[in-house]
Amino acid sequence: MILFIIYVILSTSGLILFKLGSKDMALGLSKNILEMHVPLLVVLGLACYLCSFILWMVILAKSEISFIVPLGVAVTNIAILLGSFFILHETITTPTIIGATLIILGVIVMNIK
């Protein structure tokens, strides 16, 4: 359970850091040489995402895939929604709330024994 929580935090953080750093990212071609400016936030986002991927492989190896994958997708999507609202100041609309509710209900229904 602790690994799962760390996975969700790292995965969510990685995506939010990518978004924060992407506005300063630049890619160009100069004298037939590819030039790329990658901000620190993007590098940190990549590191978080890489660590989350490694944790995900460990979690998958130790869990029932039919249980952990829907749960992982649902919890990560909800965490991204909340992170986008609080950190990126994105708007949460009524359809978004309905969709998030359906995701949560879907995971609950899938796991009824």
Per-residue model confidence (pLDDT) at position 66? 85
- Residue 1 pLDDT greater than 80, yes or no: yes
pLDDT tens for each residue of 48-106: 999 999 999 999 999 999 889 989 999 999 999 999 999 999 999 999 999 999 988 98
Give CA separation, 55 vs 19, 44, 75, in Å. Answer: 22, 17, 15
Contact in structure between 58 and 52 (CB atoms under 8 Å)? no
Higher per-residue confidence, 85 vs 110: 85
Mean pLDDT computed over 5-14: 97
CA-to-CA distance for 107 and 103, rounded, in angstroms?
A: 6
- Enter the pTM of the model: 0.85
> Total domain count for the chain?
1
CA-to-CA distance for 62 and 73, rounded, in angstroms?
A: 17
Domain extent, residue 49, equals 2-110
Per-residue model confidence (pLDDT) at position 83? 95
